[in-house]
Structures are given as structure tokens and as C-alpha cells.
Amino acid sequence: MTAAGADTRLAGKIALVAGAGTSAAGWSIGRASCVTLARRGAAVVALDAHLAAAEDAAHEVELAGGSALAVQADVADPDAMQAAVDAALRRYGRIDILQANAGIGKVGGPEEISLQDWDRIQQVNVTSLLIATRLLAPLMRAQGGGAIVTVSSIAGIRYTGYPHLAYSVSKAAVIHFARMAAQQYAADGIRVNTVIPGLIDTPRVAQNVARMFDPDDLQAAMAARDRQVPMGRMGTPWEVANAVAFLASDEASYITGTELLVDGGLTGKYA
Ligand SMILES: NC(=O)c1ccc[n+]([C@@H]2O[C@H](COP(=O)([O-])OP(=O)(O)OC[C@H]3O[C@@H](n4cnc5c(N)ncnc54)[C@H](O)[C@@H]3O)[C@@H](O)[C@H]2O)c1
């Protein structure tokens, strides 16, 4: 029985959030997404490379009154992902939604980034999409449809002011992967879309900013990030999660192969 006024937009759906945890204490996009999807009625498979991070996200879902399963897997490891999908199917019997949220990066331009770092970033951010889609598309097709939401970055469509080459190139590929997959799977009822977050206030960003600036200047550096944005502030992980939940839901039933910018107007600023 559903409580009066409960949000049922994702009722009955099973959502796999890959990269469900957070790099440091606080609300990441994945952690906020797990809770947001659950608040709308989905059961959540919280997948992360770190079991504690997956368990923490699953715990937050349960605190919000939802159902969750925590699984540990590296999104770039096909065998681990197969095992994770098998575990999800044993528990819930189906998977309707994939949020491909795991993402890593390293600052540097062509002459700074090592080939090893380059390869790992492409594997985690891009090859992971191939691995997950190969596993889930046949399932979704057999179920009569599904929704895949990939998570890119404004770094995938603009230069963000410092060299972040491997990350930026990978995030551009995320967008195009989703566009291509959307075409291929449209007739199967599988929608594939991308959320493009702008400057979002997550623990990882605070850590990165702290690394790049004097710790005493952290507050000033974060305020400078706020000032860059036409809306005058960074976004919250919840604002990104809301966009993911929308694209994952039947409200977006005629939307596929496109991107939703969640950037407070930043990308349009000098366009
Ligand atoms: N925070 C921002 O400002 C921002 C902006 C644009 C895009 N994004 C993108 O949003 C996503 C989430 O960002 P966040 O800042 O919340 O990140 P975060 O680093 O806090 O969380 C990412 C989670 O993914 C997990 N992860 C990393 N590599 C993994 C792997 N190989 N396999 C499984 N799990 C793995 C990490 O353990 C972590 O729990 C990323 O794809 C990021 O690139 C973030």
C-alpha cells in the first residue's frame, strides 16, 4: 500500500546505479541519485568499486524507506560486472534502469597525462558503458524496454579553464556512446540519454579544488566556482539526481539520444 502523496513515478522499477558511492564524506551524485530514485519508488542496486561506499548508499536508500542491494564491482571489469548483474537479478529478477555514473579523471594536458592514466580513465569512463550496455540491453529488450542514463560533464563539450584532457575526451565519448546506443536500441524500447552536469558541489570537487589551491584558500576557490555560474552557485548533487530520475522515468518516454544540461546556465554563458 502506497502512502498518500507518495511519489510513485518509478514504482516497480529496478535501478542499477554504477558508481553509487562517494569519494569522501558527503553527498555525491551517485549517492544522491540512489536516494532520489528510491524516493520515486525504484528499488536500487548500489554498485561501487568500494564495497563500503556501495553499502553506505544502500543504507541511505533504506533510511529513505526504499529497498537496496549493495554490490562491489569495478565498472571496467566485465567479469565483475557480470557477477554484479547476476546478483541484482537473483535479488530483484529484472533491471529497468542503468545510471552509468562512475567517473574518474586526472588533471593534465597531452604532455602531462601518462598513457597508463589515459587508458584507465577511458576504461572506467567509456569502456564501462560498452560492458554494462552489452550486459543489460539484452535483458531490457527481453523485458520490453528500459532506460540508460549516462553521466557526462560540461568538460565533455567545453574547455573548463584548465587541462583535463583525458577526462574531457572521455566525457565527450560518453555523450556520443549514448547517442549511438539510443539509435540502435530505440525500436527495442530502450531509451539512452545523457545528463551533463556543470559545476556540482560534491566531496570529490572539494577535494580536487583543495589539491589545486592552497587549503587556506579553499573557501575562496569554491566561491570563485560559484561566481562563474550565471545562477551564482554550484549545483547540488540532488539537482543532477532529479534530472537522472526524470530521464529514467516514463515521463521521458519520448526522449532518447539526447542530453540534459544541468549547469545553472554555465555552458550558455559565452556560447
Ligand atoms: N562533481 C561534479 O562537479 C561533476 C561535474 C560533472 C560531471 N560529474 C560526473 O558525475 C559523476 C559522479 O561525480 P561525483 O563528483 O559525484 O563523484 P565521486 O567521485 O564522489 O563518486 C564516484 C563514485 O564512483 C566510484 N567509482 C570510481 N571508479 C569506479 C569504478 N571503476 N568502478 C565502480 N565504481 C567506481 C567511486 O568509488 C565513487 O564512489 C562522475 O562520472 C563525474 O565525472 C561530476
The CA–CA distances, whole Å, from 45 to 20, 35, 93, 133, 146 equal: 9, 11, 12, 16, 15
For residue 21 and ligand 1, the question of a CB distance below 6 A is answered with: yes
Burial (Cβ within 10 Å: 0-12, 13-18, ≥19) of residue 122: middle
For residue 16 and ligand 1, the question of a CB distance below 6 A is answered with: no
Is 270 catalytic? The answer is no
Within 13 Å of residue 20, how many CA atoms lie on the same side as its CB? 33
For residue 264 and ligand 1, the question of a CB distance below 6 A is answered with: no
Q: Are 178 and 257 in contact (CB under 8 A)?
A: yes
Domain 14-198+236-260 has CATH 3.30.950.10: no
For residue 205 and ligand 1, the question of a CB distance below 6 A is answered with: yes
Indicate yes or no: pTM above 0.95: yes
Tell me, in angstroms, the distance from the centre of ligand 1 to residue 104's CA: 6
Phi, psi values for residue 155, rounded to 5° = -65, -20
Nearest CA to ligand 1 atom 31: 74
- What is the pLDDT, as a whole number, of residue 1? 41
Q: Are 47 and 20 in contact (CB under 8 A)?
A: yes
- What is the pLDDT, as a whole number, of residue 74? 99
The CA–CA distances, whole Å, from 174 to 124, 168, 194 equal: 11, 10, 8
Domain limits of the chain?
A: 14-198+236-260, 200-234
Tell me, in angstroms, the distance from the centre of ligand 1 to residue 213's CA: 21
Burial (Cβ within 10 Å: 0-12, 13-18, ≥19) of residue 25: exposed
User: What is the rounded CA–CA span in Å between residue 71 and residue 87?
Assistant: 8
Nearest CA to ligand 1 atom 12: 29
- What is the pLDDT, as a whole number, of residue 175? 99
- Which one of the listed residues 167, 185, 254, 270 is annotated catalytic? 167
Amino acid at 7: D
For residue 22 and ligand 1, the question of a CB distance below 6 A is answered with: yes
Q: Mean pLDDT of residues grouped by 10 in the chain (271 residues)?
A: 78 98 95 98 98 98 98 99 98 98 97 98 99 98 98 97 96 99 98 98 86 77 92 98 98 98 95 72
Nearest CA to ligand 1 atom 33: 49
- What is the pLDDT, as a whole number, of residue 3? 58
- What is the pLDDT, as a whole number, of residue 220? 87
For residue 160 and ligand 1, the question of a CB distance below 6 A is answered with: no
